[in-house]
Structure 1
Amino acid sequence: MTRSTNTFDTLELKNVGRSFGGQNALVDLNLRVRAGEFIALLGPSGCGKSTALNCLAGLLPLTHGEILIDGKRIDVLPSEKRDFGMVFQNYALFPHLSVEKNIAFGLQMRNLPKAEVTRRVADGLALVKLQDQAKKRPGQLSGGQQQRVAIARAVVLEPRLVLMDEPLSNLDAKLRLEMRTEIRRLHQSLGLTTIYVTHDQEEALSLADRLVVLREGRVQQIGTPEQLHNNPTNWHVADFMGYRNIVDLEVESVVGDLARVTGRGISIMATLAQTAAVGDTVRVAIRPSDLVVTGPDTPSGRDAIQATVNVVEYQGREFAVEVTTTEGQNLYVHAYTALLPGSTVRLAVDPSRALVYRSSLDGVAAPRELSAVR
């Protein structure tokens, strides 16, 4: 399959917003996308990511703001005039049509010559490795195969932008992993520009050139996977980047960019990701993999957390462990040896791996967009 000739240099969203019944679903989304980028919109249900995608697609009108391609407004155009391809969560295939006819449908709606439709359908089937399934109907296919058909139907249109709305959420774990690789391969081999909605941080990290994290309709942070993984701008982003332990503690002292935080059976040194003063209640974020089990025989100290093991789950190379501190705070830990439920352990964490944030997100300014990756 050839690359689309109907390309662009930049797609820009300026102060894009959408309200429903006076309630904001999306507020002042500002984003510049370069041709060939893979952008993931990430966040929990109700954060505004699907609303943003539907505004882009033209399925929802904007309440305010503009969408431009190379400086020309497209938000005033109907959906069919934007030349975008869409892949839906539920596949949205026609159940009465064969695989090849599903893929051909959009091409036929554009009144392309029959020979061109035949060529593109054959290319699309080969692209997603479904040549042997061409005559079958969607109901005869697995979920992964149906999603491949939906992707082929979108890319044979050679769109200038592909929009994907949680396309893997209905698949099992193995298929999700396989389709993740397939989507990235197609994106790279066809030179697509892709905007992808997901609530799965691992999916977003593995696929995207840049991530846009949303909360309650507002952008929290925009950056590369590495930037968001290593330097979350607030505790909400940290939560989505794998910092499963989010604990409210009090600042006891501050020395440079380090603070001693205490409470709930915890007293550790941690890194100030946001400014805080002595006496502040803060939110401390720690990844389970950064809480190190030091064992019950380690001498006690202010930086050793004593806890009781509650639940142990075997996960192959490691164990996922839930523990409770002496003051009832649950923590999540990764261990490389089996721990016994009911046993006592001591935990330690490197100060650089425990991040201190303001407990409230209210009043946090929208983040400055980081440069696009090329």
Structure 2
Amino acid sequence: MPLSPPPPGATLRHLSSSRSRGIRRWITASCVPLVLAATSVEAADYVFRYGHSHSANHPRSESMRYFEKELETRSDERIDVTLFFDGTLGREEDVIQQVQMGIIQGTRSGLFAQANPAYQLFLMPFLFDDTDQVLEVVHSEIGDQLAAGALDNQIYIPATGLAGGMRQLTNNVHPVRSLDDMHGLKIRTPPFPVTIRAFEALGASPQQIPFTETYMALQTGVVDGQENPPSNIYDMRFQEAQDYLTVLNWQINPDPFFISAKWYRQLPEDLQQIVTEVAEETMERSTTAWLAAEQGFLDRLGETMEIDTLSTAERSEFVEAVAPIWQTFVDDGVFTQQQLDTVLALTGKTEIQP
């Protein structure tokens, strides 16, 4: 069933002020061992502890509640699942490391390049025209290859979905309708070389700030803006510090389900199969619900923000500015020319198109 955006104030695990949010993140991140110890369950044969940065009402969290229910039921409660939302276990990069080390057993995060740097192929600016193209690549042989490559970093990826819809740009300085409007804007970006180079090419000043710290950075003026799909913008309440949103459709992120390879390997074969099956179903449900909810989140953002949708001609200026960076990632060995050509073919392109 498609999920609707929660009403204002319904997000369960946000504190009322940005200062208290920052203090809470520090406390929870420093007390991870205590949090995990307090949730140990002796009755189950195996424990699956999972954490991510989104609130309890976010589509990603809704899908993980399905995972919890189904995995416990189908395993006859041999696996006990505990979910931690709202960045309770720390910053995204720290949580991924906890998965790699086997401290916790699962996460979903925008920092998928930590699992396999070649995932940056998905991040090439303006590569995809719509979500159907992304899903075709995710479910293709090359998608399977990227997932398998994560095993080298102690991460098992049983399934990959989409992390919401197309990513849009927000800021609190002025409307962005041209490249000139981008000049000098301090934009929070994730620490991906692709995103950093793209915003540099657009004339902005990209700033790398953890996702869970972006709200405070916007509120205090450390950065002018950020880029995310509408669902993330609304869930993290970025609109409280942002006045303008530009529908740029510049990028869309995959959503690999990260599971500790160490934990997965110790499971008996029957439980391995159950974990994989439930994860696959979870990601399919997540993608369907998340994409269905995006327009609703955008509409709600429009209640307090000015939204500008670029014309084809206006958008082409942005596309042309970033087109040259594609080849640099092949030259740097992040992914191969063959992998890029395969994705271009799946998207109906024969070359990098400005």
Q: By the TM > 0.5 criterion, same fold?
A: no
Superposition TM-score tier, normalisation by shorter sequence: under 0.3
The TM-score with structure 1 as length reference comes to 0.23
Hey, which of these two has a bigger chunk of strand by percent? Answer: 1
The TM-score with structure 2 as length reference comes to 0.24
Q: Which has the higher contact order (CA 8 A, sep 6+)?
A: 2
